[in-house]
């Protein structure tokens, strides 16, 4: 009897040692692999922004150089492309955020005819392939020239304004979806309390509702900005003569991508990372997220 029992104990120990090994090494190793899979392309991009290229291509490592970093826009057309991209992203974000927040408020707050179909339609731009959206937008813009009631030049020739229209269109969906999730848990009685204390609808919105949904609005705006600044597929159909940064990269890759593209890409990457770090720090510092704090409060009581 003693023999098999000892065997069992030994076996148990072996299992525990294995589990320990798994905890200690295997999972971290797996995590490392997964992270490097995600990070490697970015790292290569950053590394090659310090390349000292010979000729046009920036494919093989030739040696360290800071030359491109001192002149990040020093390629013909690159400055214009980056400016266009930034302008499109900025205006599209502003417009989509304002419209999206209002749509989100309406959808969450009110029951009206057609509400459920709008709820569904909001997902359409997100679920439709971008290329389909791009093509249909192009068709729409072209078709508009046949109608007398559309003033000439409104949509055609294509350009900055048509890119903007397209970007606002697909950004609205993302803003609405973000805001809707955010607003669903919004404590409505806070608005009632504000009105009870003498604030009319306008004051209530700006003094109570808006400060409380601001984190959500910021999140939605950042999402919209990042979607807008790197969009290629829809932009290519709606751009006409205008060139955005992604279009510039695609155009130049036939001749060989200049190092400056890596530099600008790295800058965009760093700014994005900086913003994430900043927002995390701010949230940790300032206060718990107000909307969540109320929810937690409610759960506690």
Omega before residue 157 within 30° of 0, cis: yes
Element counts in the chain: helices (H) and strands (E): 15, 0
> Would you call 241 exposed, middle or buried from its count of C-beta atoms within 10 A (0-12, 13-18, 19+)?
exposed
64 bridge partner residues:
51
| 195 touches other proteins by CB under 8 A | yes
| 200 touches other proteins by CB under 8 A | yes
Nearest to 88 by CA among 216, 214, 227, 215: 227
Size, binding site for other proteins by CB under 8 A: 25
Site string for other proteins, 236-255 (x = CB under 8 A): --------------------
Q: Any idea how long the chain is?
A: 301
Q: Which is nearer to other proteins, 221 or 291 (CB)?
A: 291
| 208 touches other proteins by CB under 8 A | yes
Nearest to 221 by CA among 264, 182, 263: 182
The residue within the footprint of other proteins, chosen from 126, 153, 189, 251 (CB under 8 A), is 189
CB 92 → other proteins: shortest distance, Å?
29
CB 258 → other proteins: shortest distance, Å?
48
Q: Which is nearer to other proteins, 56 or 189 (CB)?
A: 189
| 194 touches other proteins by CB under 8 A | yes
Residue 64 DSSP SS3: strand
| 283 touches other proteins by CB under 8 A | no
CA distance 267 to 272: 9
Stretch that binds other proteins, among 60-68, 132-140, 165-173, 183-191 (CB under 8 A): 183-191
| 227 touches other proteins by CB under 8 A | no
Q: Which is nearer to other proteins, 96 or 212 (CB)?
A: 212
Query: What residues contact 241, with CB distance under 8 A and at least 6 apart?
Result: 157, 158, 159
The residue within the footprint of other proteins, chosen from 34, 54, 196, 256 (CB under 8 A), is 196
| 217 touches other proteins by CB under 8 A | no
Q: Phi-psi category of 257—alpha, beta or left, where left has phi over 0 and alpha has psi -120 to 50?
A: beta
Residues in contact with other proteins by the rule CB under 8 A: 187, 189-190, 192-200, 203, 207-208, 211-212, 287-288, 290, 293-294, 297-298, 301
């Amino acid at each position: 009897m003693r023999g098999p029992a000892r065997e069992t104990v030994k076996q148990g120990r072996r299992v525990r040692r294995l589990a320990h090994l798994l905890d200690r090494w295997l999972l971290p190793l797996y995590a490392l692999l997964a992270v490097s899979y995600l990070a490697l392309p970015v790292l290569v991009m950053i590394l090659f922004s310090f390349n000292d290229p010979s000729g046009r291509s920036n494919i093989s490592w030739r040696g360290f150089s800071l030359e491109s970093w001192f002149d990040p826009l020093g390629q013909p057309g690159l400055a214009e492309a980056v400016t266009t991209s930034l302008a499109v992203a900025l205006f599209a974000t502003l417009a989509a955020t304002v419209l999206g927040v209002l749509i989100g408020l309406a959808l969450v707050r009110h029951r009206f005819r057609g509400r459920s179909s709008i709820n569904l339609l909001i997902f359409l731009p997100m679920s439709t392939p971008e290329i389909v959206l791009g093509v249909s937008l192009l068709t729409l813009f072209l078709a508009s020239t046949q109608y007398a009631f559309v003033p000439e030049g409104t949509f055609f020739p294509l350009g900055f304004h048509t890119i903007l229209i397209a970007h606002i269109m697909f950004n609205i969906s993302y803003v609405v979806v973000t805001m809707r999730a955010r607003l669903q848990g919004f404590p409505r009685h806070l608005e009632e309390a504000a009105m009870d204390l003498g604030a009319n609808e306008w004051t209530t919105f700006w003094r109570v509702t808006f400060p409380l949904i601001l984190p959500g609005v910021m999140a939605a705006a950042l999402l919209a900005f990042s979607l807008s600044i790197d969009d290629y597929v829809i932009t290519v159909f709606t751009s006409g003569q205008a060139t955005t940064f992604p279009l510039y990269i695609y155009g130049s890759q036939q001749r060989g991508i200049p190092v400056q593209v890596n530099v600008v890409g790295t800058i965009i990457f760093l700014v994005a990372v900086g913003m994430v770090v900043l927002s995390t720090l701010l949230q940790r510092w300032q206060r718990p997220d107000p909307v969540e704090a109320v929810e937690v409060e409610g759960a506690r009581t």
